[in-house]
Homo-oligomer: A and B are copies of this chain.
Amino acid sequence: MWQLYQFPLCPFSRKIRLLMGEKNIAYELVREDPWAASDMFFNLNPAGRTPVLVNEVKEVVIADSRAIGEYFEETVDRAPMINGTATGRAEIRRLTALFDENFYNDVTAPLLSERMKKRIVLRQPPDSRALREAMKMAHGHLDYMDWLIDNRPWLAGSTMSMADLAAAAQISVADYLGGIDWTGHEQTRGWYAVFKSRPSFRPLLTERMDVIKPPAHYALVDG
């Protein structure tokens, strides 16, 4: 069985868990906290980041969530997530990068820093200005998602794709950390409610990261 090195609030690991869920690939989780990465983990991935995917005999080791995504796309036919014409596939990859990089840097990373790292590692209160700025940036990203969903059934086109998985993964972590205000974003909220009801998403919604509690609506399908 595959092993996936991750921690519960890693958005990139969540993207891969959603992908493996949709593709019906069995795996077990190995916890690797970003503030306490072991030498063994740096040997697996010199970049020192989760997720890392390892097979049972450790002869296949794949780091980087996009590399893992492309690997499963190439080796597992079920539930294709980078599909269609070459330009359609480019659009899926563009949006995946937008959520992996821009949404993460603007929203998820500051929330993880203020509400996870400061709480669990540094034992400091969060900086309310940084939180406000992250929530403001989240509104901008949700506006863009609303616009995409006004024009397309799914974020990158007519079918669910890696772009949807990447976006849902980032949003789920931001929502867990209280960083998403859904007011005025009915389109994206409806898209996200559909996601939350999928079997691939349920294990994520019931998981908790140590002492950090999500808001009441977090795990509700219509929340």
Residues of A near any B CB (own CB < 8 A): 45-47, 60, 62-64, 66-68, 70-71, 74-75, 86-87, 89-91, 93-94, 97-98, 101-102, 144
Contact = CB atoms under 8 A, between A and B. Distances in A.
5 contacts: A47-B97, A62-B87, A66-B66, A70-B90, A74-B86
Contacts of A75: 86
Contacts of A60: 87
Contact of A90 (B68, B94, B98): B68
Complex copy number for this chain? 2
A222 to B, nearest CB: 29
Given A46-B144, A66-B66, A144-B46, A71 B98 contact: no
A134 B42 CA distance: 21
A-B complex: 3 closest residue pairs judged by Cβ atoms: A67-B93, A64-B97, A62-B90
A85 B132 CA distance: 46
Contacts of A71: 86-87, 89-90
A91 B53 CA distance: 12
A94 B67 contact: yes
Contact of A93 (B64, B86, B144): B64
Contact of A46 (B46, B62, B63, B98): B98
A17 to B, nearest CB: 18
Given A62-B90, A70-B89, A71-B87, 9 more contacts: A46-B98, A62-B91, A63-B94, A64-B93, A64-B94, A66-B97, A70-B90, A74-B86, A74-B89
Contacts of A94: 45, 47, 62-64, 67
